[in-house]
Amino acid sequence: MLITDLVQIERLAARKEDENWEYRTFLKGGPHSSKKLDAIVHRLHARVSAQIDCTACANCCKTILPILDQEDIDNFARGLGISAEEFAEKYLVEDKAEAGMTFKGTPCPFLVDNKCSNYEHRPKDCSSYPHLHKPGFQRRTLGVLANCSTCPIVFNVMEGLKKELPQTEAF
Q: Is the peptide bond preceding residue 152 cis, with omega within 30 degrees of 0?
A: no
3 contact partners, CB below 8 Å, separation of at least 6: 9, 12, 152, 155, 156, 159
Of the pLDDT bands very low, low, confident and very high (cuts 50, 70, 90), residue 132 is very high
Quote the pTM value.
0.93
Q: Looking at the predicted structure, is the pLDDT value of residue 31 above 80?
A: no
Report the chain's terminal Cα–Cα distance, integer Å.
25
- The strand pair at 100-103 and 92-95 is best described as antiparallel
pLDDT in tens, 36-60: 999 999 999 999 999 999 999 999 9
